Amino acid sequence: MQITGYWYPVDSSARYAAELHNTDGIHYTLTIEDNDDLQGMLASISVSDRVGNIPRKITLENQSIFETKNNDEVDRLLQKSDHRDGSLHFLHVLETRWQWIATAIILTVVISFVSIYWGLPWASEKLAYAMPISVSEKVSEGTLEIMDKYVLEPSELPETRQKAIREHFEKILLSIQSENFHYKLYFRQLQDMPNAFALPSGKIIITDKLIEMADNQPEIDSVLLHEIGHVVHRHGLQQIIHGSIVTIAITMIVGDATAIEEMVVALPTFLLESHYSRSHESEADEYAFKQMVQLGIDPIYFASMFAKMEELEEGDNSGKSDDSSKSSETLEEYGEFLSTHPSSPNRMQRAREYSAKHFHRNPFEQD
């Protein structure tokens, strides 16, 4: 077996035509134009990877280099001599077979989907629960201030009303909380929209419009306990971790380190605009139902409150507003904010089932 190419001496840009000879699969002889022959053991040479038709470089014992375009002959030499670099030929075969390429693409897509759809949420949940509460407080730092500056407006509820709800929240709802979160209730206006949301630290914001929609304290309690459920189950922190992992992964792929800095700067916006997953909403619902039962509050009030929000989202404001013909633009805005707490027949029916089990109401009774 002989392989033609060029020989490059050590520390020199000169090149010489050369041929690599092998007969026994153990030794090699390199005959070089206008130079003495070089001999040695095949086991002592190193061969570069095969990438398409790019010339291969064979590094000899004295660190000089023999370069050749005859890749097929190099592969045969490696296989014949059982050289350690011979396994690279197998990788080249895989790279040049469309069936294997297609299989690799499909596997990559499947693994990526599984990792993103199931793996990342699972990892985010484990990390969120492993972190101390101080981390939740740290990531929420400054968020309410930003919301007050750009999104929220001061509450117009009477101070006596705010004080009564806050005292009830602290004395009743927080009395059965076993987690060490530092809960605090805030009242704000949000463009006359009903909403409530919780930051990972335990700060809960409820709007004037939602308070006005409620016919009684138990309906307000059902919303607040739902938000406490998001805090207890670290749903906000899970979303932040999930988004951070995705951002870091993209940064590693594209090599743009500024993406991490942008993520930190945009964190308050992320907390404001992120929507919980359906599973998170269901988990917060279940938490609220169990807490209501423990406090002796009928979960039917959860269903009645969300029924009102559903009516508002659908544009049916009879009995709540003199203007029953809201513009489609206004309804779209309501829908956008209400989507953070999607109201569905299944969720309301679940509340009725809890009510039937613990307060002996008809689970098919409409509120």
Task: Answer yes or no: is 364 within a domain.
Answer: no
Residues 13 and 142 in one domain: no
Task: Answer yes or no: is 198 within a domain.
Answer: yes
Which residues have a Cβ under 8 Å from the Cβ of 52 and sit 6 or more positions away? Answer: none
Count CA atoms within 13 Å of residue 63 on its CB side.
3
Q: What is the CATH number of the domain that holds 65?
A: 2.30.29
In this predicted model, which residue has the larger pLDDT, 87 or 295? 295
Task: Answer yes or no: is 205 within a domain.
Answer: yes
Task: Answer yes or no: is 366 within a domain.
Answer: no
Residues 236 and 318 in one domain: yes
Confidence (pTM) = 0.65
Integer angstrom CA distances of residue 109 from 105, 114, 227: 6, 9, 36
Task: Answer yes or no: is 43 within a domain.
Answer: yes
Number of domains in the chain: 3
Counting every residue written for the chain, the total comes to 367
Distance CA(176)–CA(106), nearest Å, equals 50
Element spanning 131, H or E: none
Mean residue pLDDT of the chain comes to 81
Distance CA(259)–CA(152), nearest Å, equals 28
Task: Answer yes or no: is 152 within a domain.
Answer: yes
Residues 58 and 115 in one domain: no
Task: Answer yes or no: is 367 within a domain.
Answer: no
Range of the structural domain that residue 155 is part of? 132-359
Distance spanning both ends of the chain, measured CA to CA: 89
Segment 158-211, tens digit of pLDDT: 999 999 999 999 999 999 998 899 999 999 999 888 999 999 999 999 999 999
**pLDDT greater than 80 at residue 326:** no
Segment 65-104, tens digit of pLDDT: 999 998 888 888 877 777 766 555 555 555 666 776 788 7
Residues 237 and 346 in one domain: yes
Segment 53-67, tens digit of pLDDT: 789 898 998 899 999
In this predicted model, which residue has the larger pLDDT, 98 or 350? 350
Residues 248 and 331 in one domain: yes
Task: Answer yes or no: is 365 within a domain.
Answer: no
Residues 66 and 122 in one domain: no
Show which of 85, 112, 140 is a domain's final residue. 85
Residues 199 and 337 in one domain: yes
